[in-house]
Amino acid sequence: MNRNYADILALAGRDPDWFDEYAVPRFEAFAPDRIANIYASECALVLIACQSCKAEFKVAFSEVNATSAVSRFDGRRSAQRRASIAEMITRGRLHYGDPPNTNCCAAGASMNSVPLRVLEYWQTLRHDLSRVGQHLSPEDIADLSPRWERDAELEIEIIRPERRVAGAHQYVIQPVNVKERDFHLIANGPRPVAPFSHAVETDGWVILTGQMPTDPNAPDAPLPDGVEAQTRRVMDNLEIVLKGVGLDLSHVVQCRAYLTAFERDYAAFNDTYQTYFPADRRPARTTVGVTALAVGALVEIDCVARRPRGDGGAA
């Protein structure tokens, strides 16, 4: 059971914005440098609910109230270490305990709580501490202060909204903490030459099927002559698919290219391919020589793109 801060709540005259790791009510916007644990290296703001009355609270987690352990076996013996908050989120072990003591219901103060959603997750960046102990200016000291970075990848639904049934005995934990897959078939995209989607998206990653040098407006027309023209057509087709899911080539992080005449066409392929990306922002790439490609193509390229954080998806 947490302490009751009725005196603070009465003086404030309004509901708290969130509660810290010790269930102390806070009346300001959440920020990682406002949590109780000044030594924290990671923290999270999590929406939880009283397991009895389903009243919801925003609460903070840091190392002081995140206590799950992880076992490790090295082949000879098993050892345990404290799990990070990130690990507890991904493994479904995040647990606040009793909800804040606000008299939400008769059993609330001593009732368990259930995590619903990670609203914010933060971790500190590493710093070069080689100058610690030297005479430092105020600017240098500021540079050594903890710098927090937000990671939206861990801001996930733990229990789906449709599972939050009022009056239910308890919530049902969502077993998979990742976004469901989206299968994209772009209306004006190149005609598939086999049974596949133009792109599949999961958890912000967009995986594009390899594109051929076919014309979307005339899919049965002859292919362009030469690897340079075919490379341009393939890249144009990739751009069409990316545009169809609300992205472009700037979001591409990895490509794979396939050439049927590797030694003959590799240099010419590179000369054309490189014009589609800035010199300082070229995706990772693998290029493979193959014996043949569909529709008699000289080149095929697939890619993986990353949707920006906070982008809800294709229009």
Q: How confident is the model at residue 162 (pLDDT cuts 50, 70, 90)?
A: very low
Q: Assess whether pLDDT exceeds 80 at residue 193.
A: yes
How far are the Cα atoms of 2, 52, 79, 98 from residue 169, in angstroms, in the given order? 22, 7, 36, 16
Q: How confident is the model at residue 2 (pLDDT cuts 50, 70, 90)?
A: confident
Q: How confident is the model at residue 67 (pLDDT cuts 50, 70, 90)?
A: low
Residues of 9-42 as b/e, b for ≥16 C-beta within 10 angstroms?
A: beeeeeebebbbbbbbbbeeebebeebebeebbb
Query: What is the percent of the chain with per-residue pLDDT over 70, rounded to a whole number?
Result: 78
Helix residue spans in the chain (DSSP H): 6-12, 85-91, 138-144, 226-244, 262-273
Q: Assess whether pLDDT exceeds 50 at residue 252.
A: yes
Domain range annotation of the chain? 6-163, 182-306
Say yes or no: domain 182-306 is CATH 3.50.50.60.
no
